[in-house]
Structure 1
Amino acid sequence: MRATVEARRELGPEYEAALVESFVDRLDATIAARVRAEINHAGARPDQGLHPDQRPQPRKSGNSSVPIALGSMGIGIPLTAIAASHAGTAGLLLAWGGIVAINFAHALSRWRSRD
């Protein structure tokens, strides 16, 4: 995100929409990769012939939702300002749609891991 903000400063406001779109695309790709990895990790069972080093490790106890929530707010505040000021309502909806998708994927992975 910092690189995107720095690029915006260097390139000027006429490139802002492209920079925000590029950032959101990279964010979506990262989220998708993490969700796939989590699904693959949660779907593997030790009795499926995995090497002991590849077996899923037990999850640590604690509330992993707190870092996700704080991270969402930390990213959401500057993204809201950038998206609303330069891309309008569509940018704002896109930015918060990505944040909601992150939180939804996290909640879904926690829900699936309880089974």
Structure 2
Amino acid sequence: MATDEMRKDLRAAVAARQELGAEYEPEIIDGFLEKLDARAAARYGQQGQPLPEPAHPQPPAGKPDNDPGGLALAIVSVVAGIPITAIAANMEGTIAVIICWGGLVGVNLARAAARFVGR
């Protein structure tokens, strides 16, 4: 079976990388990928034909990007913040409330940053 052969090749590549060290990693990866490409070409009969690039839809330049997930996260954060604030204030006080809201703000900032980087 072809997948068993590829698993053996991958295990051999990993073992070679462990023996030879990180300085030979690009050559080991390139060799494995060449074998993989040759197998795929033999299997599907598409020698020399590059794969099409995946399409990434981009919003129009003048139109703002709709982000319903970001709005939902913000709403859920505020709604979750209400009982979290009550529990934290009752159990530990002001510092706990600040820490809890810092975490909620951090989650929202992390999502915004990930969307910004992902563009």
Report the TM-score, using the length of structure 1 for normalisation.
0.45
Which structure is richer in relative contact order (CA contacts within 8 A, separation 6 or more)?
1
Higher helix share: 1
Bigger CA radius of gyration: 2
Report the TM-score, using the length of structure 2 for normalisation.
0.43
